[in-house]
């Protein structure tokens, strides 16, 4: 890339750049650090798409980078031929600032290139778009979202014809096309109204919405449990200012929940997310209003979905009356136990059933599947890898997909989509809570029963933010250092094996073996000598963070939790974090 100062000047003088953007850039004149941060690189488009801070510059989310990214999508569809161009691209968007603008810009670029664009009529969730791609038979899909990132962010995700995020080989084709495209000179577009008039942009919505809800309702496992407690069972739901409000409320009403209390302050499509620090259902602070309401209404269960409604956070009341946010691992384990137990009881658990999780997700899932004699598969971090296996099994018939989940609060029951689905997850969590209520149990008590049955597993994910150019270099240096000077002991335990997913090696006692059953990824996993503890280190694929995933199991939860904390403290000391 050219000198960032030259690029900055080009943006300031370009005939393509609008006056508001030029004004924004003029205001940072003389601020060398800010100019460098905005222009030192192109906003990276990786296999998970593109995500960045809103603003002017090559390293920011704006209409120019959205158009450039769409040129890559356009080239991919054009390569697939005329039929693929007719099948078109489905475009969805969440409630974030400029999401609707970016969606329209995406549609206009595709239309200019002769590709039909199906554009949702209002904000829609990730699972609705994933479902819609399959239902319409589209060649690709695009979702404008930055998931649960803070309000300063937005993003651009690309989906394949199976409804899953693009696999690495297809993503590389899009990335190469983007890299060959000049942000101004090579971009084509056309007026929105003209594209609609010519039939190149088609607005979709209600009909697809109904088909989606019908598909979700087929995943019910125990409708009688909902009927049994529908009048007395109360729950609180918050969409956290996101896309979940319409589909979640609709599906809960459809299956018979009569007492759903919605957090009205957070039932607004507001990209500034005014009631929360960050619209992240992993954080208890996101549920402050809901918890207050729960105490006032004597409610046992609170559910929240993030802005694009692919992740679900669950808050339960414990034995002391305190409200606790379940981890993504705990929610996934509860759902897994419930799904497998119900299917086994009903005789619908097939011999070739399989559950899929990511390598950073709890090993409690392995213990549960073993008890039901169900196969479990580990894939790399990112739900697209779960989606890839689902599509493979659909083609080969070798396995029957039952459930997939990851520690980061995402799961999918059913095969109607190929990405995380907070709508079906919310429906099943509520049904599960109703089922346990018929047994005079809360979800908190159900979780304790799982621990008693399978052992006490504790996991903790910690992120260290390393923003900007310096942060990227710092992360790269840290991971390189771990490979050249490996850790050998953590919290009085020897490291007995190291799995390097980038080198695709497993090193044990100076013996190294190789594997090739997973794509390469910049991830390191360490197993410790108690044979119950491990940790994983990886840079985030979507944020300027490095992540540590700690895990341990024991005969009681406090022991496992203490081990996890001590491991983390020791690692932080050794790595000067």
Average pLDDT in the 479-498 region? 95
Q: Is 11 part of any domain?
A: no
Q: What pLDDT shows up at residue 542?
A: 66
Which CATH number covers residue 218? 3.40.120.10
Q: What is the DSSP letter of 56?
A: S
Helix (H) / strand (E) element for 196: namely helix 192-197
Please report, rounded to a whole number, the percentage of residues in the chain having pLDDT higher than 70: 99
Asked if 268 and 155 sit in the same domain, the reply is no
The mean pLDDT value of the chain amounts to: 95
The answer to whether 161 and 133 are in contact (CB under 8 A) is: yes
SS3 117: strand
Q: Does residue 261 share a domain with residue 347?
A: yes
User: What CATH number did the domain enclosing 553 receive?
Assistant: 3.30.310.50
Continuous H helices in 372-518: 383-396, 422-438, 443-454, 468-484
Query: In terms of Cα–Cα distance, which of 110, 298, 92 is closest to 192?
Result: 110
Give residue 75's domain range: 41-204
Count of domains for the chain: 3
The whole-angstrom separation of Cα 161 and Cα 156 is 17
Are 433 and 472 part of one and the same domain? no
How many residues make up the chain in this entry? 577
**231 and 331 both lie in a single domain:** yes
The token pair at 220 is 């019910």
Contact 339, 436 (CB under 8 A): no
> What is the helix (H) or strand (E) element at residue 235, kind and residue range?
strand 235-238
- Same structural domain, 187 and 272: no
Q: 552 has which bridge partners?
A: 458, 533
45-102 pLDDT, tens digit each? 877 789 999 999 999 999 999 999 999 999 999 999 999 999 999 999 999 999 999 9
The model scores a pTM over 0.75: yes
Site of tokens 């009688």: 224
- Provide the β-strand partners of residue 236: 261, 302
475 and 384, same domain (yes or no): no
Same-domain pairing of 371 and 223: yes
Same domain, 292 and 194: no
Same domain, 132 and 146: yes
Q: Give pLDDT tens digits for 380-427.
A: 999 999 999 999 999 999 999 999 999 999 999 999 999 999 999 999
For residue 326, pLDDT beyond 90: yes
**Domain check: are 284 and 392 in the same one?**
yes
**Residue pLDDT, tens place only, 195-240:** 999 999 999 999 999 999 999 999 999 999 999 999 899 999 999 9
Query: Does residue 309 sit within a domain?
Result: yes
Q: Provide mean pLDDT across the span 559-576.
A: 96
**Whether 265 and 388 share a structural domain:** yes
Q: Kindly tell me the sign of the dihedral angle through the C-alpha atoms of 471, 474, 476, 479.
A: negative
Q: Is 147 a catalytic residue?
A: yes
Please pick, among 99, 125, 139, 147, the residue that the annotation labels catalytic.
147
Q: Is residue 365 part of a domain?
A: yes
User: Which of 204, 225, 252 is the last residue before a domain boundary?
Assistant: 204
């Amino acid at each position: 890339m050219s000198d960032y100062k030259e690029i900055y000047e080009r943006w300031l003088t370009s005939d393509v750049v609008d006056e508001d953007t030029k004004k924004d850039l003029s205001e940072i004149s003389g601020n060398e650090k800010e100019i460098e941060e905005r222009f030192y690189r192109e906003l990276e488009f990786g296999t998970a798409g593109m995500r960045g801070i809103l603003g002017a510059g090559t390293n920011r989310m704006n209409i120019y980078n959205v158009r450039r990214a769409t040129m890559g999508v356009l080239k991919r569809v054009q390569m697939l031929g005329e039929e693929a161009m007719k099948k078109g691209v489905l475009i969805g968007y969440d409630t974030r600032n400029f999401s609707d603008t970016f969606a329209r810009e995406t549609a206009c670029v595709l239309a200019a290139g002769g590709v039909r664009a199906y554009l949702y009529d209002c904000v829609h969730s990730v699972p609705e778009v994933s479902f819609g791609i399959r239902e319409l038979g589209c060649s690709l899909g695009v979702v404008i979202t930055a998931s649960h990132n803070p309000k300063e962010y937005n993003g651009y995700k690309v989906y394949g014809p199976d409804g899953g995020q693009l696999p690495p080989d297809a993503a590389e084709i899009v990335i190469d096309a983007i890299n060959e495209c000049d942000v101004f000179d090579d971009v084509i577009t056309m007026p929105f109204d003209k594209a609609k008039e010519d039939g190149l942009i088609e607005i979709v919505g209600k009909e697809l919405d109904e088909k989606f809800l019908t598909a979700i309702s087929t995943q019910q496992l125990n409708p009688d449990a909902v009927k049994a407690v529908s009048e007395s069972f109360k729950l609180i739901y918050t969409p956290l200012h996101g896309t979940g409000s319409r589909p979640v409320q609709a599906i809960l009403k459809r299956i018979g929940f009569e007492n759903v209390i919605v957090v009205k302050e957070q039932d607004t499509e507001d990209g500034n997310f005014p009631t929360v620090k960050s619209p992240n259902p992993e954080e208890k602070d996101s549920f402050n209003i809901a918890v207050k309401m729960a105490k006032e209404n004597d409610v046992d269960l609170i559910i929240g979905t993030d802005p694009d409604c692919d992740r679900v956070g669950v808050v339960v009341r414990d034995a002391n009356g305190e409200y606790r946010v379940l981890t993504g691992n705990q929610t996934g384990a509860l759902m897994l136990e419930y799904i497998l137990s119900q299917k086994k009881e009903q005789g619908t658990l097939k011999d070739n059933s399989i559950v899929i999780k990511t390598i950073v997700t709890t090993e409690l899932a392995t213990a549960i599947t073993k008890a039901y004699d169900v196969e479990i598969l580990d894939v790399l971090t990112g739900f697209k890898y779960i989606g890839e296996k689902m599509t493979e099994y659909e083609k080969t018939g070798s396995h029957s997909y039952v459930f997939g989940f990851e520690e980061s609060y995402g799961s999918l029951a059913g095969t109607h989509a190929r990405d995380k689905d907070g709508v079906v997850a919310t429906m099943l969590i509520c049904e599960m809570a109703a089922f346990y209520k018929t047994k005079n149990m809360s979800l908190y008590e159900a979780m304790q029963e799982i621990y008693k049955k399978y052992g006490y597993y504790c996991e903790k994910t910690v992120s260290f933010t390393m923003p900007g150019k310096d942060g990227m270099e710092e992360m790269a240096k840290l991971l390189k250092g771990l490979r050249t000077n490996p850790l050998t002991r953590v919290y009085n335990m020897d490291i007995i094996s190291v799995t390097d997913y980038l080198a695709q090696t497993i090193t044990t006692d100076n013996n190294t073996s190789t594997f090739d059953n997973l794509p390469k990824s910049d991830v390191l996993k360490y197993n410790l000598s108690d044979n119950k503890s491990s940790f994983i280190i990886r840079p985030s694929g979507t944020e300027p963070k490095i992540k540590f995933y700690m895990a341990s199991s024991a005969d009681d939860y406090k022991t496992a939790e203490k081990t996890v904390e001590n491991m983390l403290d020791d690692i932080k000391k050794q790595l000067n974090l």
